[in-house]
Amino acid sequence: MTDATDLTTHETDEEDVPSVAETLEGLARMYLRAGASPLPVNPATFGWQSTAGVLAALSARMLHFLHGVDPKYGAAFAGFYHGPTGDGPHPLGVGLWVERNIAQPAGADINAWVADAKQEAETAFAYTSRPTSIADLGILLGDDALALLINGLGASWEEWEEHGSTRRVCFLPGCTREVDLVKAWSGEDREQSEGWKSAPAVGFGCPDHVSRLWAGEHQHQPAWTKENIDSTAQLTCTCGWASGKVAFRGHGITLYQVHALEVLGAQG
């Protein structure tokens, strides 16, 4: 059982530790930020942002209840949340607590849990780094994330449709084909979205350009790489093409668009 002794002195006694009220306000703002539009296009980012909102809501409710029952414990947990440097609980301390209070009582090996987490991270990275079927993204995001996207701070479906928030056009300049993400992800209009794919590096591709660039023998799938400690990165293609170092995402995407147009031109 967790008690105040599980929370180290520097996490509960420093003068700059936020109060329970300040911590609750921060959690509430985090929850609202997680659902604020515009929402991220990348499915992994969107999924984790949605998860952050859920955890912020849970933490706020639990801290509010705990503080009402015992203000001492509420303040202690606010200090724990703040952490030794103000950026959250110390990872080592949390890891040891999880092992002692959750893994061991469950008869589990925490190292196996860590290995599972690493495998899931590698699988997710591989999944989101390649062009992905639009319909598959709905399965990846799940019903809760889709509901968050569709509802979006209370906006009605008509408002979303009017402002075009759910519509995406093909990434290739000159192509005017578009897809409605919500209808595609929810399965409402699978026929219209059939063949569309999402490439996190550059955006969405229509069926024609997906088949000629990202599928079969046409291996021109884009991906961002960052190997240096500076703020630059480069956009690469599975054919060996690379944009060279760029400081702005849009610059790299434009260079890849030129590359894609050259590939299509060579295909005839």
Q: CA 100 → CA 2, 95, 113, distances in Å?
A: 11, 9, 14
Same domain, 136 and 230: yes
Where does a domain end: 23, 57, 89?
A: 89
Same domain, 161 and 240: yes
Of the candidates 64, 57, 50, the one whose C-alpha atom is nearest the C-alpha of residue 21 is: 64
CB-CB contact of 200 with 129 (8 Å): yes
Where does a domain end: 68, 89, 110?
A: 89
Same domain, 49 and 170: no
In tens, the pLDDT along 25-51 reads 999 999 898 888 777 766 667 778 888
In a domain, 235, yes or no: yes
Q: How many domains does the chain have?
A: 2
Same domain, 177 and 256: yes
In a domain, 150, yes or no: yes
In a domain, 190, yes or no: yes
Which pLDDT does position 4 carry in this prediction?
46
SS3 157: helix
In tens, the pLDDT along 113-172 reads 999 988 887 776 665 555 666 555 555 555 555 555 555 434 454 554 555 566 788 999
Which pLDDT does position 133 carry in this prediction?
62
In a domain, 119, yes or no: no
Same domain, 134 and 251: yes
Calpha distance 261→173 (Å, rounded): 8
In tens, the pLDDT along 173-214 reads 889 888 887 777 666 666 777 888 888 888 889 999 999 998
Same domain, 210 and 85: no
Where does a domain end: 70, 89, 108?
A: 89
Same domain, 152 and 248: yes
In a domain, 19, yes or no: yes
pTM: 0.48
The domain of 175 spans 130-267
In a domain, 51, yes or no: yes
CB-CB contact of 63 with 73 (8 Å): no
In tens, the pLDDT along 44-81 reads 677 788 888 889 999 999 999 999 999 998 998 888 88
Same domain, 136 and 261: yes
In a domain, 85, yes or no: yes
Total Cβ atoms within 10 A of residue 223:
15
Same domain, 46 and 135: no
Same domain, 153 and 223: yes
Note the helical H segments in the chain: 9-12, 20-34, 43-69, 71-82, 91-98, 110-129, 134-151, 157-163, 181-186, 190-193, 207-213, 249-267
Calpha distance 243→251 (Å, rounded): 9
Same domain, 205 and 138: yes
Which pLDDT does position 92 carry in this prediction?
80
CB-CB contact of 232 with 246 (8 Å): yes
In a domain, 94, yes or no: no
Geometric angle at alpha carbon 249, from 235 and 153, rounded to 5°: 130
Calpha distance 252→221 (Å, rounded): 14
In tens, the pLDDT along 219-261 reads 898 988 876 656 678 899 999 999 998 888 888 899 999 999 9
